[in-house]
């Protein structure tokens, strides 16, 4: 399917529901023409998941990784610079699987060309970028999806249904924990002083992209970029996007335009790198009939209170309500506690639709106008909230975030950290 054909058949009417797109009439055997940006690591998985469509373009700054992907898709044109790839006129859709600091830049360029976009998590590198992408996606009426593959895992669907049904009464607290960083990458470290040679396969300047220019080092690539402020969003950006997802969805924590208070504690903030551990508290006010709720995030070696730790699964969540608690490990089914209280509990009849698969859902949306679960209208506000944890940590104070104004109202430095500067040629408006 060619983009011009999609646009010719698309309605200009407003969307009837978040995540729905205007769709062209699509034949049963027609396929999307897809370009993939980032084909190693997580990108390799994304590429495999959409390979039933027409893969017409592949982009990666590492020529070795690009060659591996191109061997599987010999008809695809290859690129090192996604800006050049996005100049093509024959794309229908794009998958963005780059390091975090490229997400918004690549995605915004794709959206402004009217392309459907699947972008890996976290949606953006900064709070400001998340708002900009959500606005642009709504304007373009295209199919979007953030890469939270467990968003519609059956266990998470059942958890959200329990939360929305007040199975344990109104939720007053939620506790969420991960053992990252440390296991997969380092944080709390200084910039390396060595100047090793750049691998011949790597286009280092393109890898830097919007980030400030600096010498190559293996401390940054291929995966350890997550722990550096200039490239990644730390453990909270990596895992809270997964683990906080049921809380954000089930407790209706986004889109109300109120003030959210956020405080984070941990080791003394490092100028270049994220913390070795962090505890963050998000305070949400009344939401309709739902009472105020505090959401606690623990990462690294951070430990929750003893009263919580016994029931909080590692890389999982615990919800505390007036009548009981719900525990759920990542990608597993929820458990109501105490067990003896809920032994005869009858769960609500499932009312959230099962997913055909995260990538399949996005492809179907691009073809038919159906909904996606992690569309940017949902993923944008969610990413905003998550990344506020890093902002509060870096300033060392409780911040008050006015989501309607996209502004921290009580700390100028924190307000500045909602966005970032871009190298020439790599801005959101270029």
62 DSSP assignment: B
Buried b (16+ CB within 10 A) or exposed e, 71-89: eebeebebbbebbebbebe
User: 41-66: b or e for each residue (b if 16 or more CB lie within 10 Å)?
Assistant: ebbbebbebbeebbbbbbbbbbbebb
Instruction: Using a cut of 0.85, tell me whether the model's pTM lies above it.
Output: yes
Q: CB-hemisphere CA count at 13 Å for 64?
A: 6
Nearest to residue 92, comparing CAs of 150, 21, 157, 163? 21
**Which of 246, 223, 253, 233 is closest to 150 using CA atoms?**
246
Pairing of strands 316-321, 116-120: unpaired
Give ranges for CATH 3.30.360 in the chain: 154-184+230-353+382-416
Name the CATH topology of 154-184+230-353+382-416.
Dihydrodipicolinate Reductase; domain 2 (3.30.360)
Range list of β-strands (E), 133-239:
144-147, 171-177
Separation CA 304–CA 335 (nearest Å): 19
Q: 3-class SS at 78?
A: strand
- The helix/strand/coil state of 259 is strand
Q: What are phi and psi of 182, to 5 degrees?
A: 105, -50
CATH class label, 3-151+357-375: alpha beta
Please report which helix (H) or strand (E) contains residue 319, including its range: strand 316-321
Q: Which pair of tokens denotes residue 24?
A: 């062209």
Residue/partner pairs of 28-33 with CB below 8 Å, 24 or more apart: 30/1, 30/367, 31/1, 32/1, 32/92, 32/93, 32/116, 32/363, 32/366, 32/367, 33/1, 33/2, 33/3, 33/90, 33/91, 33/92, 33/93
**pLDDT per residue of the chain (430 residues) written in tens, 0 to 9:** 543 333 333 322 222 344 555 555 555 569 999 999 999 999 999 999 999 999 999 999 999 999 999 999 999 999 999 999 999 999 999 999 999 999 999 999 999 999 999 999 999 999 999 999 999 999 999 999 999 999 999 999 999 999 999 999 999 999 999 999 988 899 999 999 999 999 999 999 999 999 999 999 999 998 899 999 999 999 999 999 999 999 999 999 987 778 999 999 999 999 999 999 999 999 999 999 999 999 999 999 999 999 999 999 999 999 999 999 999 999 999 999 999 999 999 999 999 999 999 999 999 999 999 999 999 999 999 999 999 999 999 999 999 999 999 999 999 999 999 999 999 999 998 8
| Span(s) in the chain for CATH 3.40.50.720 | 3-151+357-375
């Amino acid at each position: 399917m060619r983009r011009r054909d999609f646009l010719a058949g698309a309605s200009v009417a407003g969307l009837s529901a978040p995540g729905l797109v205007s769709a062209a009439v699509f034949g049963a055997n027609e396929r999307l023409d897809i370009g993939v940006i980032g084909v190693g690591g997580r990108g390799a998985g994304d590429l495999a998941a959409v390979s039933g469509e027409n893969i017409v373009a592949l982009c990666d700054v590492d020529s070795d990784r690009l060659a591996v992907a191109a061997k599987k898709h010999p008809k695809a044109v290859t690129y090192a610079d996604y800006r050049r790839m996005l100049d093509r006129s024959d794309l229908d859709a794009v998958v963005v699987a780059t390091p975090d600091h490229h997400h918004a830049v690549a995605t915004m360029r794709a959206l402004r060309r009217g392309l459907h976009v699947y972008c890996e998590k976290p949606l953006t590198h900064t709070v400001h970028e998340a708002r900009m992408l959500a606005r642009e996606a709504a304007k373009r009426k295209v199919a979007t999806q953030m890469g939270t593959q467990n968003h519609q895992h059956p266990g998470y669907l059942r958890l959200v249904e329990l939360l929305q049904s007040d199975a344990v009464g109104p939720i007053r607290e939620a506790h969420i924990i991960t053992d990252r960083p440390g296991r997969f990458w380092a944080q709390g470290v200084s910039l390396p002083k060595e100047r090793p040679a750049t691998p011949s396969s790597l286009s280092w300047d393109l890898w830097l992209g919007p980030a400030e220019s600096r010498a190559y080092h293996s401390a940054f690539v291929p995966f350890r970029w997550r722990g550096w402020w200039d490239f990644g969003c730390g453990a909270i950006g990596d895992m809270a996007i997964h683990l906080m997802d049921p809380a954000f969805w089930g407790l209706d924590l986004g889109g109300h335009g109120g003030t959210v208070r956020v405080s984070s504690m941990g080791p003394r903030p490092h100028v270049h790198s994220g913390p070795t551990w962090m505890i963050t508290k998000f305070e949400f006010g009344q939401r309709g009939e739902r009472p105020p709720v505090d959401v606690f995030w623990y990462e690294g070696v951070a430990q929750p209170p003893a009263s919580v730790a016994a029931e909080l699964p590692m890389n999982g969540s615990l919800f505390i309500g007036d009548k009981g608690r719900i525990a759920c490990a990542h990608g597993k089914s929820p458990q109501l506690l105490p067990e003896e209280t809920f032994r005869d509990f009858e769960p609500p009849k499932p009312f959230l639709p099962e997913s055909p698969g995260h990538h399949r859902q996005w492809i179907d949306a691009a073809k038919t106008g159906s909904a996606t679960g992690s569309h940017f209208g949902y993923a944008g506000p969610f990413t905003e909230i998550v990344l506020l944890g890093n902002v509060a940590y870096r300033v060392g104070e409780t911040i008050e975030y006015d989501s309607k104004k996209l502004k921290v109202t009580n700390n100028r430095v924190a307000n500045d950290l909602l966005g970032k500067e871009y190298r020439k040629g790599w801005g959101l408006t270029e």
